[in-house]
Structure 1
Amino acid sequence: MSNFRYIFGIFTLILAASVHGQVAKDSELYKVLKSKDSLLFDAAFNQCDVDTMESLFTEDFEFYHDKGGFTDGREAFLKPTRENCEKRDPEAPQYSKRILIEGSLEVYPLYKGEELYGAIQHGVHRFEFLNNRNEYQKGDIAKFTHVWMLNNGEWKIKRELSYDHHLMENKEPIMEVSVSQQILEKYEGSYISPQVGSVQIKKDAGNLLLVSEKMQAKLYPKSEDTFFMKERDVRFKFIQSDAGEVTKMQIIENDTVVDEAQREKS
């Protein structure tokens, strides 16, 4: 219940801020917070600079994510990043990228009387990740809202919401076909992906259901051995041996194999 009150309170702030209206994109406040946004995500995704990230959050920072849940406190939020950065090979390319959608950033000032004490920053960003060929592929697109507080001349994020995560839409619709239950049953089982780990494939009312630790997606038949997602231009092709045994599942994006999940023997 307390988490709901916080979220409701943040959106109340947004509504209150809209009374003043968003600031112009050539205003000093907009430019300052846009530069802070760039600094934050560069530190998180490009530099693995946890110290810079720490300087941009209040100690009582709270993070709300529509898939990953609630994180209470700056240190709890930064701990996974610290651990991942310690393991990261500085010579290796960054695994993922964050790209701000051009024109999406908005800033709304927060006043108490005539005094500026904070601001609401809202925008849309998308993500890309490395496939097994070291090529970047499109990932989720999402909205974000930052509540910035101005204390002693320093801007810091007190609350962050990350929401409406969804996969990029297909450019062209793919025709769905009907396949037999016998074919669907042949693909059921456990697969191991180098990128996401264990993946389960199950029958689901004439389609297949892909289930992993971090996601669940319905796969629709394009042909007897190839399935697709409606939310994103990704196909899943099941590879069989000469004996007709399913050995692996290829994940294909933009006509490129980006991952191969080997089927586990039962």
Structure 2
Amino acid sequence: MRAAIQTFFLHPASDGLARHTKAAVVPRAPNRSDPISENTVRKMIVLVLLATATLFSGAYASAEENLKDTILKMDARLFDAYNHQRLDDMKALFDEDLEFYHDTGGLSDYQQTLDAFARIFMQENPPVRTLIADSTEIYPIKDYGAIQIGAHRFCHVENGVNDCGVFKFVQVWHNDDGIWKLTRIISYGH
């Protein structure tokens, strides 16, 4: 608060002559229309930014969880079809521009990939695939879909013994108005 200050000012007297008068300036009561202090404004901005960040991080986390759930469901559909030798169901999840990169088998296009799976399904004991859930990472691709990275186990019976191997993969999923299809598959670590 301001201390009282003495000041002189002129005021008209009843005889029409101006007189010097001594008056004390009294501190005024706070006015509700006074501007907000700079410090208060800073605090308000920080609070608004924190609230906005919290809302957006929740929305982002929710969108991320939804994407992860969607891709894991698509992965489950794909490999349920694989494990039950349903080639037509697998075919429905492959984009016709599919490229399948295999570290020991090379590059295959859509038709070559379907032919390879058809040959696998004709085997007496085709491999069974299990996703290693804790290995899965999913990342959005802006205006396209998602990348799925992970590891999976393939097991098949060979000479009466269960033979299993764990391999790594990258799958690129394209979302075309809610219809998800694989466009790229990379299988490695064999």
Range into which the TM-score falls when normalised by the shorter chain: 0.5 to 0.7
Once residues 169 and 188 of structure 2 are traced to their aligned partners in structure 1, the CA distance between those partners, rounded to angstroms, is 6
Report how far residue 154 of structure 1 moved.
0.3
| Closer/same/farther in 2, CA of residues 88 and 35 from structure 1, 3 Å limit | same
Question: Which residue, 126, 130, 135 being the options, matches 1:99?
Answer: 130
- Structure with the bigger RCO (C-alpha within 8 Å, sep 6+) is 2
1:144 corresponding residue in structure 2? 169
Report how far residue 26 of structure 1 moved.
7.8
Report how far residue 42 of structure 1 moved.
1.8
Structure 1 runs not aligned, ≥5 long:
1-21, 166-266
Once residues 87 and 150 of structure 2 are traced to their aligned partners in structure 1, the CA distance between those partners, rounded to angstroms, is 23
Q: Is the 8 A contact 2:138 2:148 kept in 1?
A: yes
- Correspondences of 1:1-266 after superposition (within 5 Å): 27-44=65-82, 46-72=83-109, 74-85=110-121, 87=122, 94-112=125-143, 117-133=144-160, 135-138=161-164, 140-165=165-190
Structure 2 runs not aligned, ≥5 long:
1-59
1:10 corresponding residue in structure 2? none
- The amino acid that maps onto 1:34 is L
What per-residue deviation string (whole Å, max 9, x for no partner) do you get for residues 48-90 of structure 1?
1111111111101001011111102x122101323454x467x
What per-residue deviation string (whole Å, max 9, x for no partner) do you get for residues 235-256 of structure 1?
xxxxxxxxxxxxxxxxxxxxxx
Once residues 49 and 146 of structure 1 are traced to their aligned partners in structure 2, the CA distance between those partners, rounded to angstroms, is 20
Once residues 63 and 23 of structure 1 are traced to their aligned partners in structure 2, the CA distance between those partners, rounded to angstroms, is 31
1:221 corresponding residue in structure 2? none
1:259 corresponding residue in structure 2? none
What per-residue deviation string (whole Å, max 9, x for no partner) do you get for residues 219-246 of structure 1?
xxxxxxxxxxxxxxxxxxxxxxxxxxxx
What TM-score do the two structures reach when normalised by structure 2?
0.62
Structure exhibiting the larger radius of gyration computed from Cα positions: 2
What TM-score do the two structures reach when normalised by structure 1?
0.45
Once residues 27 and 36 of structure 1 are traced to their aligned partners in structure 2, the CA distance between those partners, rounded to angstroms, is 14
Identity %: 38
Once residues 116 and 181 of structure 2 are traced to their aligned partners in structure 1, the CA distance between those partners, rounded to angstroms, is 20
- Give structure 1 regions of 4+ aligned residues with deviation exceeding 4 angstroms: 22-26
Q: Is the 8 A contact 1:43 1:50 kept in 2?
A: yes
Q: Give the secondary-structure state (helix, strand or coil) at the position aligned to 2:70.
A: helix
Q: Is the 8 A contact 1:23 1:30 kept in 2?
A: no
Once residues 102 and 61 of structure 2 are traced to their aligned partners in structure 1, the CA distance between those partners, rounded to angstroms, is 26
| Closer/same/farther in 2, CA of residues 128 and 145 from structure 1, 3 Å limit | same
Between Structure 1 and Structure 2, the one with more helix by share is 2
* RMSD after superposition: 2.4
